[in-house]
Amino acid sequence: MGLRGLFFFPREYKKVFRVSVIILLSALSFGVVFGSVYVGYMDYYALEDLESGLDYFLQITDEGGQVSSAKIATNSLNTNGIFILYTVICGLAVIGLPLVVVMVAFRGALLGFTVGYLVQRLGWKGIVFSLVTIFPFSLINVLVSLFSGATAMTFSWIIIKKVFGRDQNPTPILGFLSLQLLTFLVMFLLALLEAAVVPWLFPRLLPWALKK
């Protein structure tokens, strides 16, 4: 029972997990809306920088250039891996619990900004480009992030109740760390998938999307 208690969350915390998911989903939605709206308030010079980035990518694809698979995998793993690491720290530290909500909102803002800019820049082609290139990876990313964050918030709530002597069950720290390791492995596989797909997909779709 003691070892089992270190791996499995008590059943009474299922409601806490569901509430945590709702909170994080709300934060994510707020971030997406904020990021997409923020595109409309960017100044001319900031938009010019983004335009030059797209134009440069179009130029190297026209010249036969390729995006580095290793760089894509590294960037993806760094971004998502650091998120999981911070989530683990926030869950263990308890006091950093609100940071989980902030991090999820920030990820939503980045996603909303990216899609909002592509739609503003490319119109209906931006919608197609986003659905084909960004949405599949982002969907997995969002689901894993919500699971990781909600697990951390649930674990923190268990710790808080133990501090005040309201929970005598074993602390499921091994289960918490195992679940977070699982989310990291999913992010690792996602990075490998991006590295395999993006270098093939982007050079074929982006020139079409940017074509007048």
- Give the amino acid at 101: V
Name the nearest CA neighbour of 202 among 57, 70, 53: 57
How far from 85 is each of 56, 60, 74, 115, 171, CA to CA, in Å? 33, 35, 16, 26, 20
What per-residue confidence (pLDDT) applies to 84?
Answer: 93
Give me the tens of pLDDT residue by residue for the chain, a chain 212 residues long.
Answer: 556 667 777 787 889 999 999 999 999 999 999 988 888 776 655 566 556 555 545 554 544 555 667 777 888 888 888 999 999 999 888 877 888 999 999 999 988 888 888 888 778 888 888 888 888 888 999 999 999 999 999 999 888 888 777 767 777 888 899 999 999 999 999 999 988 887 788 777 777 776 76
How far from 109 is each of 22, 31, 149, CA to CA, in Å? 17, 4, 16
CB 152 within 8 A of CB 74: no
Alpha-carbon distance of 32 to 59, in angstroms, equals 30
The sign of the CA dihedral 107, 75, 191, 174 is negative
Alpha-carbon distance of 167 to 202, in angstroms, equals 52
As given in the structure block, the two tokens for residue 91 are 């869950």
Query: Could you state, in order of their start, the residue ranges of all structural domains in the chain?
Result: 2-210
Angle at 20 between CA 14 and CA 21, to 5 degrees: 95
Name the nearest CA neighbour of 155 among 28, 36, 10: 10
What per-residue confidence (pLDDT) applies to 73?
Answer: 82
The residue assigned the tokens 């091994």 is 174
